[in-house]
Amino acid sequence: MHRYLSLLLLLPLIALAANPNLIMANNEPAPTTALTPRAYLPLVTTGTQTTPPPDQPPPDQPPPVQRASFFVDSSWKTSGAAIEVDNQKAIHMAYHYYEAQYGGDQRTPTYAVYRYCAANCNQGANWHEVKLLEDLGVRVNEVQLAVTPDGRPRLLLRTWRNNIYVNYDYYYAQCDTNCIDRAQWQVTYLIPVAAVSPMNLTDNDLPQRYFDVDNQGNPAFVYADANYIAEPDRYGTYYVYCQMDCGNIDSWYEVQIGEHVYGTANAENFQYPSLEFTSNGQPRVLAAFTALSGDTPMLHYLACDTGCDTVDGWKRVALWPRGQGPRPGWDLELDANDNPRVLYYPEALDNGTGSELYYGWCNINCVNPTNWGKTSLGLGAYHGAAPDLEIDAQGRSHAIFITQNSGIGYARCNANCASSQATWQRQDIDTQATLAQEWPVAFAPVCTGGIWSAWTPAMAIDSTGGLRMAFDAAYHANCWWSQDQWQSYYQMYLVQRSVRGVLIQ
């Protein structure tokens, strides 16, 4: 093998050695080898600082804030950032390792991790973690996190199955007390699923929000299937739920909520559904799909008040065009009156618009399209991908998103958010320069340079207005790849990917 290829394979190790800002829980230096998996707590940078200048001047800049930030692991790639807060202001996080499986005596970590901090989370020693599915030898490729009203964590885990027909398996994990003890966790296998192509191709780049718990803490999720190996065939979109004893697979039920022509593959496959519950436990879903009765992919809102175990109980309305491109984004939240509020980012529309972030709302009879309104946040073009919407205790809307320059942006509306007169304050949370400063990744001489980019932003807000953010940060280097005289070229190589947390008070 060419000597340049050998150097390239050393890139992840070089990157680790060049990052002194990440330490282990016992304050040992970051390891210079990636052969032995270890558990890490974050080193947090604290202090008062003003966020870096935004990509373009915002109309109103919030004041300086107290900020802490960290990467979760310096030795292995991680992904799937998820974050929640409970009613005691404790922070819950989850992620999975973004590594391939190797055989033999050496095995990279491929499990999921649950992390918890009760207070003073700017100190690494106050974080605790638990490994999940570490004993099964499976490769986790997606983690979603929810917290019950009384503060108990619930996780939906998806693993990769090495099968061209049935690609994934779903697991449910729950804990009721002392959840930093692995023995207190119960993990239940749920279902196998076949991926719906090409929807699964960008799963790693977009946040997943189709898992949640209701007002009683009962879990549910929405997924699309294309499993023609099963009998009968399973095509379309399903709502899966449990109302008691959820550690028992027999307590889980499902109903198909997307239309399907029986005996064919013609079905409504929901893209990136966002699931929320009203204060009475009624499910609401926001998703894009092409209705069987239409020919254009549209963003749809679905609501069920009663009879949610039958397809007739689900009502729907088509809102706005999905937009072109592989990474459009949207998110759903409910205000204090259970009225839907939406963030909507179409990458591009047929009329030449799109590629900006919109805020949508409805206050009455929300399966009637005439009762919906929307307005641009005014952030400018290409600001707003992969948005996450949260509404705080004072009714203010908060948005986190990917900026034009692949950083993380934040915007807040203080009043009249559900109107065209709303004014959004905007600031940058992390830029490419911020990430490069906190983690100066080294690369081999065969590389001409590299760049950080942000993916999958998520946010939670505690009872005092503290912002808790998490996202994936990926570093790619432009490196020369050569196997022989006929195959030599530059390509972008993933050197590092890490879940990152940012805490703002």
* pLDDT digit string, tens, across residues 149-179: 999 999 999 999 888 889 999 999 999 999 9
Question: How many angstroms separate the CA atoms of 240 and 418, rounded?
Answer: 31
Mean pLDDT to the nearest integer, 216-234: 91
Q: Is 384 left (phi over 0), alpha (psi -120 to 50) or beta?
A: left
Mean pLDDT to the nearest integer, 62-81: 86
Question: Lowest-confidence range among 164-168, 230-234, 453-457?
Answer: 230-234
Residue holding tokens 């073009």? 381
Question: Lowest-confidence range among 47-56, 155-164, 303-312?
Answer: 47-56
143 within 8 A of 82, measured Cβ to Cβ: yes
Mean pLDDT to the nearest integer, 90-109: 82
Instruction: Judge whether residue 146 has pLDDT over 50.
Output: yes
From 287, 278, 348, select the one nearest 316 (Cα to Cα): 287
pLDDT at 412: 97
Question: How many angstroms separate the CA atoms of 259 and 291, rounded?
Answer: 8
Question: How many angstroms separate the CA atoms of 179 and 130, rounded?
Answer: 8
Confidence label for 6 from pLDDT (cuts 50, 70 and 90): very low
Mean pLDDT to the nearest integer, 139-147: 96
172 within 8 A of 188, measured Cβ to Cβ: yes
Local structure of 388: helix, strand or coil: strand
Instruction: Judge whether residue 187 has pLDDT over 90.
Output: yes
Is 137 within the bounds of a domain? Answer: yes
Using CA atoms, how far residue 10 sits from 23, 139, 201, 482, 495, in Å, is 21, 23, 27, 15, 10
Q: Count up the domains in the chain and report the number.
A: 1
Q: Which residue has the higher pLDDT, 488 or 186?
A: 186
Is 372 within the bounds of a domain? Answer: no
Is 401 within the bounds of a domain? Answer: no
pLDDT at 62: 52
Confidence label for 282 from pLDDT (cuts 50, 70 and 90): very high
Mean pLDDT to the nearest integer, 233-254: 96
Q: Which residues pair with 153 in a beta bridge?
A: 147
Is 272 within the bounds of a domain? Answer: no
Is 19 within the bounds of a domain? Answer: yes
Q: Which residue has the higher pLDDT, 44 or 327?
A: 327
Full residue range of the structural domain in which residue 6 is found? 1-141+440-464+472-505
Is 364 within the bounds of a domain? Answer: no
Is 382 within the bounds of a domain? Answer: no
Is 328 within the bounds of a domain? Answer: no
Q: Which residues pair with 238 in a beta bridge?
A: 223, 256
Average per-residue pLDDT for the chain: 86
First to last CA, the chain: 52
Residue holding tokens 């699964």? 200
Structure tokens of 366? 């929300």
From the CB of residue 205, how many other CB atoms can be counted at a distance below 10 Å? 17
From 258, 251, 247, 274, select the one nearest 224 (Cα to Cα): 258
pTM: 0.86
